[in-house]
Chains A and B, each alone.
Chain A
Amino acid sequence: MRAVRWSARRQGELRGWIAAAWGALGVLAVLVLWELYKFLGPAEGVVIGAVAGQSGSGVLILPRTHDRAMPHVWDMVARLFAPTSGGDTPPLWVSVAGAALVTLGIAAVGWLIGVVVGAVLGVVMQRWRVLEWGLLPWIVVSQIVPLIAFAPVVNAIGNQLARGGGWWPQWLSVAVIASYLAFFPVAVGVLRGLASPDRIHLDLMNSYAAGYWATLFRLRLPAAVPHLLPALRLAAANAVLGAVVAEVSIGMRGGIGRMLIQLAGQASSDPAAPWGPTFGSIALGLIAAGSVALIGLGLANYRRGEASA
């Protein structure tokens, strides 16, 4: 018995290491591909249909590989430790980390709003089928509206409120826009999860004369957990994405989105710099999704399957 459990645990450990190795291999493959193309590709890229003597004509089908367009990976890394904007300014990675924290905070607020709104929508749609028919198509359509078009509207409304004497800081607009992307997976996940209990369990609750709320809290919500966790993780990634894009499109200072745009504007003179905030936002997404995964650890009992006889 003991030996069996030991080997099972070791197997689990081994699987973990193998998964990590595959992940590292994937990242490495991207880096190698980058450098390989930079080494092999022509400096000015491949352009078809160019007219001689007319710069900018033709269609670029393979990107340029010179250092201004594609800096070396090691240059990007080295740039992280160089001063942000020359002189005595702090190293780039410190500025990136600071900006990332600002964005993370806003994304967290956006995530919370999204989770609350999505959960309420999911519960309401599960409770009344008519509402599901009425709401679900709109919820799906809502995700087709481009964020770039939608962000300025939210910002304008926020500004109106602030001007009218209400409390509405600019970061709240960003959070609301982030929540717009975050609520969707939660609404769908909650709807699916709450509808997931087996017929037999519903019959059982019915036989106990359990009302709607008792059934919701004792049966539907616990049964929804396996559907909910991936939805929350997706919502976290969406909230980060939404926050970064919203910062850019309404021009909020201090976050990583703005920093990305700013450094990208200077890329012709400092090509490795925009990669700093790019890595920063990748790390941000991973941290956000990872923190939600921690919630899953506390809910492990709700992910048990009932073994068949």
Chain B
Amino acid sequence: MSREHDTPLATDASAPASVAPATAVAAQPAVRAAGVGKVFPTKSGEVVALTDVELEVAAGEFVSLIGPSGCGKSTLMRLIADLDQATSGTLEIFGKPAKRARVDQDYGIAFQQAGLLPWRTVGANIGLPLELHGTGKGERAARVAELAELVGLTDFIDRYPDQLSGGMQQRVAIARALAARPKLLLMDEPFGALDEMTRERLQSELVRIADETAAAVVFVTHSIPEAVFLSDRVVVMSPRPGRITDVIDIDLGAHRDEALRESPEYFDRVTAVREALHGTRIDRANER
């Protein structure tokens, strides 16, 4: 909640990340992971879910994590969100430890399921994070109206989740993730359960929204075209143990529209990502 006050003070962009006070938020990379690993203890021994992850996501950058099941992409996202804790390495969100960033509401999050509370209207669902952090009623209503318009659900603000289609539910979830004006959006296959047409439409909307809010996005997916269409960079991951094997610059410019989907440059990048994915050894990639 303190970001609004902090931004004007962020004058020294060269402050070292590890010791930077919260005042330098705007200049910090959104995510900085150094040597991050995650080991899950199970009955049959330890399972290495992630090992030695080096990743930096700049402020405002759109980065996709792609890879087969079990490559640890969702785990990495959960570590960034501080829903799980790394067993090794350091992880900083805007220069702060992940836990601090979570408490400060520096990120918004959306999952594969919309995860709306069924007893709350669309408006009350979008406003939930604000309600939890004591935003006043009037200010909340104004922000909810603004967000509903951003995701094109103004007419549905008083409906309940069970009265919406899957695509609409997912848009509500995105609006909710944006409610506290986070500078980082974490999305774990948010369009994975949607049909192809809805999916492409929401991808275009997400590009626009990320643009308008200038938020950095970490986007987990296992669709190559989706990753290419959305991202500035695509991080290719591989399982057993989960690790980053390649990072591909997409370099298609800021303007992404439907025409891009049929351009030769787009197909080039799709091919590049596919080769990066398949070039690494993938054992039993399709077990899911």
Contacts and interface: CB of A to CB of B under 8 A. Distances in A.
B238 interface: no
B128 A209 contact: no
Interface in A198-243: 198, 200-201, 203-210, 214, 218-219, 222, 225
B255 interface: no
B187 to A, nearest CB: 12
Given A304-B119, A309-B194, A206 B83 contact: yes
Contact of A301 (B81, B119, B132, B166): B119
Interface string B103-135: 101010101011111110000000011011100
Contact of A309 (B131, B133, B166): B166
B83 A208 contact: no
B113 to A, nearest CB: 6
B162 interface: yes
Contact of B115 (A201, A208, A225, A301): A201
Contacts of B161: 304, 306-307
B266 interface: no
A306 B113 CA distance: 11
Given A201-B115, A306-B116, A309-B165, A207 B102 contact: yes
B108 to A, nearest CB: 8
Contacts of A203: 83, 109, 111, 115
A302 interface: yes
Nearest to B99: A209
A51 to B, nearest CB: 68
A225 B105 CA distance: 29
B164 to A, nearest CB: 8
Contacts of A201: 115, 117
A305 interface: yes
A149 to B, nearest CB: 43
Interface in A272-309: 301-302, 304-309
Contacts of B115: 198, 200-201, 203-204
Contacts of A301: 119, 160
Contacts, number: 69
Contacts of A205: 132
A306 B132 CA distance: 22
A208 B118 contact: no
A37 B110 CA distance: 66
A307 B115 CA distance: 11
A207 B79 CA distance: 11
A200 B111 CA distance: 8
B162 A309 contact: no
A303 to B, nearest CB: 8
Contacts of B64: none
Interface residues of A, number: 24
Most buried by A among B114, B119, B129, B169: B119
A309 B162 CA distance: 9
Contact of B113 (A200, A208, A222): A200
A208 B119 contact: no
A211 to B, nearest CB: 9
A306 B118 contact: yes
A301 B160 CA distance: 9
Interface in B78-97: 81-83
B193 interface: yes
A295 to B, nearest CB: 15
Contacts of A209: 102-103, 105
B118 A207 contact: no
B105 A302 contact: no
Nearest to A215: B132
A309 B169 contact: yes
Nearest to B167: A309
A210 B119 contact: no
Contacts of A204: 109, 111, 115
Contacts of B194: 309
Interface string A228-267: 0000000000000000000000000000000000000000
Interface of B: 81-83, 102-103, 105, 107, 109, 111, 113-119, 128-129, 131-133, 160-167, 169-170, 193-194
Interface of A: 198, 200-201, 203-210, 214, 218-219, 222, 225, 301-302, 304-309
